[in-house]
Amino acid sequence: MNEAAILAEVSADNIRLHVERIVTEIPYRAAGSANGRRMAEYSRDAMLTAGLADAAIHELPAIVSFPKHAECRVVAPVEMGIQANTLGHSLLTLEDGIDGELLDVGGGAFSDYAGRDARGKIILTELSYSPARHEKQRIAGMRGAIGAVMMNWGHPENTAVPFGSVKPVWGNPTPDNVRTEMPTIPCIGIARTAGLTLREMLGKGPVRLWFRTHVENGWHPVQITVATMPAPTTSPEADDFVLVGGHQDSWPGEAATDNAAGNACFIELARVFNRHRDALRRGITFGFWTAHETGTMAGSSWFCDHNWDRLRAHCVAYLQIDQPAFIGATEWSTASNAELKAFHSAIEKRLLGAKKAKWKRSAKNGDASFFGIGIPMFHGEGSFTEAELKATALANLGWWHHSVENRLDKMDWALMQEHIRIYGAYLWELCTAPVLPFRFVPVAEQVVGRLAELAPAGSTAGLESALAAAKRFAAEAARLDARAAAEAAAFAGGRGSDDVARLLNATMKRLSRILVPLQSTAIGTYGHDPYGYTPQTTMIPCLYDVPELAGLADGEARWMLETKLVRARNRVADAMADSCLLIGDALARLR
Rounded mean pLDDT, 259-285: 97
Give the C-alpha distances (Å, rounded to integers) separating 106 from 100, 110, 559: 18, 11, 33
Angle made by CA atoms 339, 343, 346, in degrees to the nearest 5: 140
Using a 10 angstrom Cβ sphere, with 0-12 exposed, 13-18 middle and 19 or more buried, the burial of residue 490 is: middle
Q: How far is the C-alpha of 280 from the C-alpha of 22, rounded, in Å?
A: 30
The pLDDT of residue 458 is 93
Q: Is the pLDDT of residue 208 over 70?
A: yes
> How far from the centroid of its chain's Cα atoms is residue 455's Cα?
29
* Percent of the chain whose pLDDT exceeds 90: 98
Q: Is the pLDDT of residue 401 over 80?
A: yes
The pLDDT of residue 1 is 65
Q: Which of 340, 206, 357, 305 is nearest to 526 (CA)?
A: 305
The pLDDT of residue 591 is 83
Instruction: Return the half-sphere exposure (C-beta side, CA atoms, 13 A cut-off) of residue 359.
Output: 16
The rounded mean pLDDT for the chain is 97
Q: Which of 268, 273, 377, 383 is nearest to 317 (CA)?
A: 377
Residues 6+ positions from 568 with CB-CB distance below 8 Å: 461, 542, 543
Q: Is the pLDDT of residue 209 over 70?
A: yes
Residues 6+ positions from 274 with CB-CB distance below 8 Å: 50, 51, 52, 229
Quick one: residue 560, left, alpha or beta (phi over 0 = left, psi -120 to 50 = alpha)? Answer: alpha
Q: What is the DSSP letter of 549?
A: G
The CA-to-CA distance between both ends of the chain, in Å, stands at 33
The pLDDT of residue 143 is 98
Rounded mean pLDDT, 136-151: 98
User: Considering all CA atoms of the chain, what is the largest pairwise distance in Å, rounded to the nearest integer?
Assistant: 80
The pLDDT of residue 575 is 98
Q: Is the pLDDT of residue 129 over 90?
A: no
The helix-helix angle for 441-454 and 498-520 (nearest 10°) equals 30
Q: How many residues does the chain have?
A: 591
Q: pLDDT per residue over 286-343, tens digit each?
A: 999 999 999 999 999 999 999 999 999 999 999 999 999 999 999 999 999 999 999 9
Q: How far is the C-alpha of 38 from the C-alpha of 46, rounded, in Å?
A: 12
Strand partners, 61: 221
Single-letter amino acid code for the residue at 522: A
The pLDDT of residue 296 is 97
Single-letter amino acid code for the residue at 315: C
- Any idea of the CA torsion for 273, 278, 284, 288, to the nearest 10 degrees? 50
Rounded mean pLDDT, 253-259: 97
Q: How far is the C-alpha of 422 from the C-alpha of 21, rounded, in Å?
A: 24
Q: pLDDT per residue over 65-97, tens digit each?
A: 999 999 999 999 999 999 999 999 999 999 999
Q: Residue 560 — pLDDT band, cuts 50, 70, 90? A: very high
119-147 b/e (C-beta count within 10 Å ≥ 16 → b): eebbbbbbbbbbbbbbbbbbbbbebebbb
Residues 6+ positions from 545 with CB-CB distance below 8 Å: 535, 561, 564, 565
Rounded mean pLDDT, 5-16: 97
Q: Is the pLDDT of residue 548 over 70?
A: yes
Q: Which of 371, 369, 404 is nearest to 521 (CA)?
A: 371
pTM given for the model? 0.96
Q: Is the pLDDT of residue 128 over 90?
A: no
212: three-class secondary structure by DSSP: strand
Q: Is the pLDDT of residue 519 over 70?
A: yes
- Any idea of the CA torsion for 184, 190, 193, 198, to the nearest 10 degrees? -40
Can you count the helices (H) and strands (E) in the chain? 15, 15
Q: Residue 365 — pLDDT band, cuts 50, 70, 90? A: confident
Question: How many C-beta neighbours within 10 Å does residue 85 have?
Answer: 29
